[in-house]
């Protein structure tokens, strides 16, 4: 951890910076390097993580004090247990900045990829949290619009009913490991050219559990768990986007030695819609208008995700004109009454077959053209000769 950058330096603030300043600095960095805006960019990801770690420490008065006194060694875990930074409270920080949903989890796939979720620690003699269970489901854009309930089959670890999770055969119980005295850790001594080296590691006899099972439960082969399948109804909030997660607390694998259960993470994929494209909470579609309406103006029916609306086309509308219909996009996950916008691109349709009467009318119209009509938009745009006029 010697090459770790100073947290103040990472956020670009000085050591006397107050809470608001630190928050502001992090907000800027987080926005810039957010995985959602830099997909697949490992460098941005590292910077995002670095800034998040710095913020997690400096935004917490107690941790900041420790950091000011001891530097990075305050958190490097040299005091025992695994090393590394504890990201367990990052979920709260992120929900403050980026919003979270469904049980207070981050709800973001990148969050778990980046920070390893709130995964269980290695098995030790202490109770530990169960692992998160991941499943996925597919919904339509209309379901994403309304929100939906999906029945999902989940395979997770269930407690073995024969041994009640102890892993020992019925009538027996696990014994304290003699090698480590039940601590799960042993001190290794090694002869090296520097002299005797001591290091602490997982007990090889009990694999860190602190217990030895003499007679294994035949039903679970000593694991204490059995595969269990269950159908769970998952409430998928309106506004959810492709690739997002719904986190259901306490529906993952059971914890170890009374530790809390892990969470169920439901990855949601939203199928492409034939009518609407989506970007964030905004929707995009194409609306065809006929030539007279484009020239003279008039009403057209516009299909939105929740029904038709009438749009008044302005006279002299050019093909390709994009119009915004406010509040006709997707609802936001946080509040379904707040919605994005619908952008419609107006395209003038060219009929491929006309009746005799229509042809005559168009021919008559053509005869009236003098070539001196004022044409909307002409000459305003950058021409094909690449010169601005």
- Taking the complex as a whole, the smallest distance from the CB of residue 169 to Zn ion amounts, in Å, to 8
- Choices 52-60, 192-200, 220-228, 354-362; region in contact with Zn ion by CB under 5 A: 220-228
Nearer to Zn ion, 150 or 257 (CB): 257
Of the residues 22, 51, 131, 203, which one makes contact with Zn ion according to CB under 5 A: 203
- Under 8 Å between Cβ of 158 and 98: no
Contact mark string toward Zn ion, 152..191, x via CB under 5 A: --------x-xx-------------x-xx-----------
Closest CA to 120 of 106, 105, 131: 131
| Rg over CA atoms, the chain | 31
> Among residues 152 and 217, whose Cβ is nearest to Zn ion?
217
Q: How far is the CB of 259 from Zn ion (least distance, A)?
A: 18
**Least distance (Å) from Zn ion to the CB of residue 172?**
11
User: Closest approach of Cβ 220 to Zn ion, in Å?
Assistant: 3
Rounded least distance, CB 180 to Zn ion, Å? 3
68 or 205: whose CB is closer to Zn ion? 205
Please identify, among the stretches 31-39, 110-118, 205-213, 300-308, the one whose residues bind Zn ion according to the rule CB under 5 A: 205-213
139 phi/psi in degrees, rounded to 5 = -130, 165
Cα(236)–Cα(280) distance, integer angstroms: 17
Among residues 368, 82, 120, the alpha carbon closest in space to that of 259 is found at 120
Contact 311, 287 (CB under 8 A): yes
Of 105, 92, 110, 103, nearest to 55 by C-alpha is 92
Q: Which is nearer to Zn ion, 199 or 352 (CB)?
A: 199
Question: What Cα–Cα distance (Å) separates residue 147 from each residue in 137, 138, 238, 363?
Answer: 13, 13, 4, 52
* Residue span binding Zn ion (CB under 5 A) among the ranges 81-89, 199-207, 227-235, 257-265: 199-207
Six-digit token string for 324: 């915004």
Residue 228's CB: how many other CB atoms inside 10 A?
Answer: 14
Tokens 């159908």 label which residue?
A: 231
CA dist 291 and 284 (Å) reads: 22
CA angle 339, 344, 349 (to 5 degrees): 160
C-alpha 81/C-alpha 183 separation (Å) is 12
CB of 252 vs Zn ion, minimal distance in Å: 20
Q: Which of 25, 114, 206, 268 binds Zn ion (CB under 5 A)?
A: 206
d(C-alpha 226, C-alpha 127), whole Å:
19
Phi, psi (deg, nearest 5) at residue 156: -140, 175
Q: How far, in Å, CA of 96 to CA of 27, rounded? A: 11
Report the residue number, 161 or 271, with the smaller CB distance to Zn ion. 161
Q: For Zn ion, which residue of 205, 215, 273, 282 counts as binding (CB under 5 A)?
A: 205
Contact of 179 with 190, CB cutoff 8 Å: no
Do residues 153 and 177 touch, judged by C-beta distance below 8 A? no
* CB closer to Zn ion out of 90 and 212: 212
Task: Pick the closer one to Zn ion by CB: 217 or 313.
Answer: 217
Instruction: Give least dist CB 174 to Zn ion, A.
Output: 11
Contact call for residues 140 and 275 (beta carbons, < 8 A):
no
Shortest distance (Å) from residue 155 CB to Zn ion: 18
Among 131, 220, 266, 270, binds Zn ion (CB under 5 A): 220
131 binds Zn ion (CB under 5 A): no
Of 102 and 180, which CB lies nearer to Zn ion in the complex structure?
180
Rounded-to-integer distance, Cα 264 and Cα 103, Å: 10
Q: Which of 217, 270, 283, 289 binds Zn ion (CB under 5 A)?
A: 217
Q: By C-beta, is 203 or 248 nearer to Zn ion?
A: 203
CB of 50 to Zn ion, least distance (A): 37
Nearer to Zn ion, 72 or 169 (CB): 169
Q: Which stretch binds Zn ion (CB under 5 A): 85-93, 204-212, 288-296, 328-336?
A: 204-212
State the nearest-atom distance from the C-beta of 33 to Zn ion, in Å.
Answer: 43
Is residue 246 helix, strand or coil? Answer: strand
**Binding residues for Zn ion, per CB under 5 A?**
160, 162-163, 177, 179-180, 203, 205-206, 217, 219-220
């Amino acid at each position: 951890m010697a090459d770790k950058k100073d947290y103040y330096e990472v956020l670009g603030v000085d050591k006397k910076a107050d809470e608001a300043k630190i928050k502001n600095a992090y907000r800027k960095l987080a926005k810039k390097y957010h995985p959602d805006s830099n997909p697949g960019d490992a460098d941005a990801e590292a910077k995002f993580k670095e800034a998040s770690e710095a913020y997690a420490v400096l935004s917490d008065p107690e941790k900041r004090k420790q950091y000011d006194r001891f530097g990075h060694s305050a958190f490097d875990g040299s005091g025992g247990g695994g090393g590394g930074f504890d990201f367990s409270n990052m979920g709260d920080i992120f929900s403050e900045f980026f919003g979270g949903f469904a049980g207070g989890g981050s709800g973001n796939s990148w969050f778990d990829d980046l920070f390893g979720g709130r995964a269980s620690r290695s098995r030790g003699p202490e109770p530990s949290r169960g692992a998160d269970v991941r499943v996925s489901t597919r919904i339509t854009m209309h379901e994403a619009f309304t929100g939906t309930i999906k029945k999902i089959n989940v395979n997770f670890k269930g407690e073995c009913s024969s041994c009640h999770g102890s892993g020992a055969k019925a009538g027996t119980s696990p014994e304290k490991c003699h090698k480590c005295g039940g601590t799960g850790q042993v001190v290794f001594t090694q002869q090296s050219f520097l002299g005797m080296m001591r290091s602490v590691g997982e007990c090889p006899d009990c694999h860190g559990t602190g217990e030895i099972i003499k007679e294994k439960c035949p039903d679970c082969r000593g694991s204490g768990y059995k595969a269990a399948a269950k159908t769970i109804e998952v409430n998928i909030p309106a506004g959810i986007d492709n690739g997002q997660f719904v986190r259901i607390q306490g529906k993952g694998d059971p914890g170890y030695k009374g530790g809390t259960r892990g969470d169920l993470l439901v990855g949601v994929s939203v199928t492409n819609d034939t009518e609407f494209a989506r970007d964030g909470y905004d929707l995009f579609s194409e609306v065809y208008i006929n030539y007279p309406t484009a020239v003279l103006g008039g009403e057209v029916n516009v299909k939105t995700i929740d029904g038709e609306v009438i749009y008044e086309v302005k006279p002299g509308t050019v093909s390709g004109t994009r119009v915004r219909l406010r509040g006709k996009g997707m609802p936001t996950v946080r509040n379904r009454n707040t919605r994005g916008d619908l952008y419609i691109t107006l395209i003038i349709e060219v009929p491929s077959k006309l009746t005799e009467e229509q042809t005559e009318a168009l021919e008559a119209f053509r005869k009236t053209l003098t070539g001196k009509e004022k044409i909307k938009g002409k000459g305003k745009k950058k021409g094909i000769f690449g010169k601005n006029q």
